[in-house]
Amino acid sequence: MSSSRPRATTALLGAGIALVTALAAAGCGDSGPPDAGDAKSSRSSDRDGGTATAAPLRWTTCPPPSVAQGTSLDGKAPGKDWECAKLPVPLDYAKPGGEQIELALIRAKARDKDKRLGSLVFNFGGPGGSGVATLPGLATSYDKLRDRYDLVSFDPRGVGDSATVRCLGDKETDAANQIDGTPDDAEEERAALAANKAYVDACAKNSAKVLPHVDTLSAARDMDRLRAALGDAKLNYFGISYGTELGGVYAHLFPQNVGRAVLDAVVDPTQDPAEGDLGQTKGFQLALSDYLKDCAASAQAAACPTQDRIVSLLKKLDGQPLPTRQGRKLTQDEAVNGIASALYSKDTWKYLTQGLQEAMNKGTGDTLLVLYDLLSGRGPDGRYSNLQPANRAISCADSQQRYTADDVKRLLPEFRAASPVFGEAAAWSLLSCTGWPVEGKWKTIDVSAEGSAPIVVIGNTGDPATPYAGAHRMAEGLGKGVAAEVTYKGEGHGAYNSGNACMVRTVDAYLLDGKVPAQGTTCS
């Protein structure tokens, strides 16, 4: 749910402390933290154009995260346990000896050198999320894994400090976010289409060289270069959200190089963008319904909103944005995305209640705007990470589909029926690749990986951004005997980081001891 149509972002994964800090800065925090073409046909050329060789890596002390990566909570470097490096890879794998780009890397070495299993590479999703900025903040969740693995992550091409995709400036982005993204008449439609064209034109102007090469196929080839540079015969991998799509494509291209791999919060590889957006709309609606039921059954039931009141609030915001302490106005689009942002974790549901109470009872949009900013990559200083432009660039480099306003109008009834809160925004977001200067690689993703080692595929029944059915379809796509399906009966985006003891125990036993979970294992 965003103007840049993130397919499966992990914006709130582990963002609890950052959320509390941002709310406090806005003057609305509480007392503590809350308890983020067809690939198959190109397999041969992928391998021919990108044979992985071990490039030397120079690991040095890490600087603080850059603006493009998303500034850390205190603006400081991640600490003495962390090292950073750059990995050179071809800009264009069709010309492996041509121009090179550098990928930003980060790692924390395994504690037990005698029992070290190798590296465990993470991708936390987006597409567009910086692994270099994200991994240190989430490292406590993977502390046991660090005993025997080097924890490693990276900024994929186009993301963060890796051949950064740049589009609009900060002030231009703020202005663009004020334009109504769900037009109700011809004039608003013209304005929305003009704004989309201006965004696309800015990306083409500022990032022309990299836009053709930020596709997921190229990122998967990069991961095989990373594997070799780390000195690992096999890639041990933990992909979350969009990271599951990247992991599936890697397994398709290099099945013989898959080590122990976990895919959590799984993207459905069988869906085109319209089907994916509709599925995500239904997922967010399910999460909203679960939130409303949970709130109504709590001690604060009297303060809980209803869906009808939320819909009424959004209709009012269409013409009357709410003031905030920041001096910015909370628009209808920002409110919708702020609501979606809070649904990524059950731990942030209380902030959704807080934000809706403010909007409905006080006529202010402070908390909902903070929630929106977290999802969009806007820092408290008004500077944006490159999450949004990278998200759009990678999505459009992958998907061949280019939708028109007429397509959206045809689909609107189905999207509205799926969700009176999220449907319209999701439908209109299909225009994000309209006019994009680069053709997409595929219509749907091929993840078939015959010959791969077992891959653990985890679906969460309450996941808003990557609905549960996607995990089974990914498992089917990987092929018979490859996927071990695991179910988490819970809420929020992803399973391992929920802290569920059964889920952590199941995944750790696989990654640390090689114990593949029984097919159909369920945790709740």
What is the greatest pairwise CA distance in the chain?
A: 67
Where is 204: in which H helix or E strand? Answer: helix 186-207
Buried b (16+ CB within 10 A) or exposed e, 196-224: bebbbebbeebbeebbebbbbbbbbbbbb
Of 241, 385, 432, 498, which one is the catalytic site residue?
241
493 is catalytic: yes
E strands in 59-185: 60-61, 83-90, 100-108, 118-123, 149-154
Q: How far is CA 266 from the centre of its chain?
A: 11
463 is catalytic: yes
Distance from C-alpha of 101 to C-alpha of 84, rounded to nearest angstrom: 16
Q: Are 368 and 22 in contact (CB under 8 A)?
A: no
Q: What one-letter code names the amino acid at 505?
A: R
Q: Radius of gyration (Cα) for the chain, nearest Å?
A: 22
Distance between terminal CA atoms of the chain?
Answer: 27
Of 207, 341, 493, 498, which one is the catalytic site residue?
493
In terms of Cα–Cα distance, which of 295, 375, 276, 266 is closest to 13? Answer: 375
Where is 487: in which H helix or E strand? Answer: strand 483-491
Of 180, 395, 463, 498, which one is the catalytic site residue?
463
Q: Burial of 163 by CB count in 10 Å (0-12 exposed, 13-18 middle, 19+ buried)?
A: buried
3-class secondary-structure state, position 9 = coil
241 is catalytic: yes
Query: Any residues with CB less than 8 A from the CB of 192 and at least 6 apart, and which?
Result: 179, 180, 181, 183, 428, 431
**ω into 64 cis (within 30 of 0):** no
Query: Any residues with CB less than 8 A from the CB of 358 and at least 6 apart, and which?
Result: 28, 364, 365, 366, 367, 368
3-class secondary-structure state, position 359 = helix
Query: Any residues with CB less than 8 A from the CB of 316 and at least 6 apart, and which?
Result: none
Question: What is the dihedral sign for C-alpha 14, 239, 45, 95?
Answer: positive
Query: Which residues are catalytic, by number?
Result: 241, 463, 493
